[in-house]
Amino acid sequence: MSGNGGLPVAVARKVTALARELDEVPDALTLFSRASEHLRAIVPFDAAVWRATDPMTGMMTSPIRVENLSQDGCSVYWESELLTENVNLFSDLARAEVPAAGLHAATGGLPGRSTLYQAFLRPRGLKDELRAVARTDGHPWGQISLFRADGNRVFGADDLAVLHRVSAIMARRLRSFAEPRVDPEAGPTPSDGLGPGLLCFDPSGRLVSINDEAHGFLREIAELGAEPASPTALGVTVPAWIHSTVSKARAIAAGRDKGCARLRVRGRHGRWLVCHASCLRGADGELGASVVVIERAPISEVASLMVRAYQLTDRELEITQLIARGMGTVEICEKLFISPHTVRDHVKSIFQKVRVTSRGELVAKLFTEHYAPLSEGREQRVFG
């Protein structure tokens, strides 16, 4: 007997209970932890990685939760994903009708066709991966990777259906965390007043130089409470998502990928930063070092994240931007060629969605408060 969404009744009830609990979690790391706990009872797995992503680029950002996997495989995983893999790419799943897939199923039972299996899964005693993009409103807000070890059955269609349903629930909650939050105890952060931070990586992905400003930004985005990773030769621990941005830049330069190696990330104090990478070429045209730039995100970039979080329509976004520029109702009417009644209706809807009661409060909440501290942006690594 099937329940809601084609799931068996008993499974559908568990997913519904999970949805109710996830609606109450305070942050992304708690979301990942609770989702893992409940999902493991429905779709057993031996290891997992839960990641938030930049909804505009689909690239991995923080926070990250890693279960039963050591740090050493991170670069291998992302090199397979961005430079060589052609099976179940996250970028493809983000646009697919069903944004979830199993490796064993996608390769027709021959996972050896996958470089991810050869380079990452098999050396770690893993048999199959089930992955999903947490997608809502057409944008990817997170990624989920579940792994099963040798000796266990591969992931099946029922497992995929459950993860698809759960990933949609998670996406809506992850989107809500983009809302600005205020901490009245907010103080200065290590990166306040800094210019761009610069990190240089050699062709093998090894950090070879870093400026003082980058040290400040890295302190701000440091994953508090995370299991320490092996430091670089410069004594700096670089987050996994920066390495993935470097790999993305190299893939683009090599013609293996499209888009841009650019993402937004929230520091541990809640301030939004932008990180972008570029791969340099030598005089002979060969790919050389990669440079990563980290800097404070301009309000114009962060505003798009705020708008997605509150589910504003394109017209509501347009009106919100005009309000932020100080325009009154009459000016907005003249600018958009709509009636005052229509403007007032849109403003009323915007106020309800953003939960404010005045234009000043709206501007403060969408375009100012994102600089307020937020205790988020950590990586968790757990075993057991």
Same domain, residue pair 118 and 49: yes
Percent of the chain with pLDDT over 70: 82
Same domain, residue pair 152 and 209: no
Query: What mean pLDDT is predicted for residues 246-251?
Result: 90
Domain count within the chain: 3
pLDDT tens, 314-366?
899 888 878 876 788 998 999 899 999 999 999 999 999 888 888 877 876 76
pLDDT tens, 181-192?
444 444 445 445
In a domain, 382, yes or no: no
Half-sphere exposure of 44 (CA within 13 A, CB side): 5
> In the predicted model, is pLDDT for residue 210 greater than 80?
yes
Same domain, residue pair 159 and 287: no
Look at residue 302 in the predicted model and tell me its pLDDT: 66
pTM: predicted TM-score of the whole model, two decimal places: 0.63
25: domain CATH number is 3.30.450.40
Same domain, residue pair 45 and 154: yes
**Are 143 and 48 contacting, i.e. CB atoms less than 8 angstroms apart?**
no
> In the predicted model, is pLDDT for residue 178 greater than 80?
no
Query: What mean pLDDT is predicted for residues 147-166?
Result: 96
250: domain CATH number is 3.30.450.20
Provide the mean pLDDT of the chain.
82
pLDDT tens, 277-310?
999 998 888 999 999 999 887 655 666 666 777 8
Domain final residue pick, 278, 299, 320: 299
Look at residue 46 in the predicted model and tell me its pLDDT: 97
Same domain, residue pair 80 and 227: no
Same domain, residue pair 134 and 204: no
| Tokens 């939760």 found at | 65
349: domain CATH number is 1.10.10.10
In a domain, 70, yes or no: yes
> In the predicted model, is pLDDT for residue 221 greater than 90?
no
Same domain, residue pair 312 and 293: no
Residue from 223, 251, 219 nearest 235 by CA: 219
Beta strand extents in the chain (DSSP E only): 47-53, 60-67, 100-102, 126-136, 139-149, 197-201, 207-210, 262-266, 272-281, 287-296, 379-382
Structure tokens at 85: 């893999």
Same domain, residue pair 100 and 159: yes
Same domain, residue pair 254 and 366: no
pLDDT tens, 110-141?
999 999 999 999 999 999 999 999 999 888 89
Provide the domain limits for residue 236: 197-299
Half-sphere exposure of 156 (CA within 13 A, CB side): 6
Same domain, residue pair 162 and 34: yes
Domain final residue pick, 266, 299, 332: 299
Same domain, residue pair 318 and 364: yes
> In the predicted model, is pLDDT for residue 225 greater than 70?
no
Look at residue 21 in the predicted model and tell me its pLDDT: 92
Same domain, residue pair 44 and 140: yes
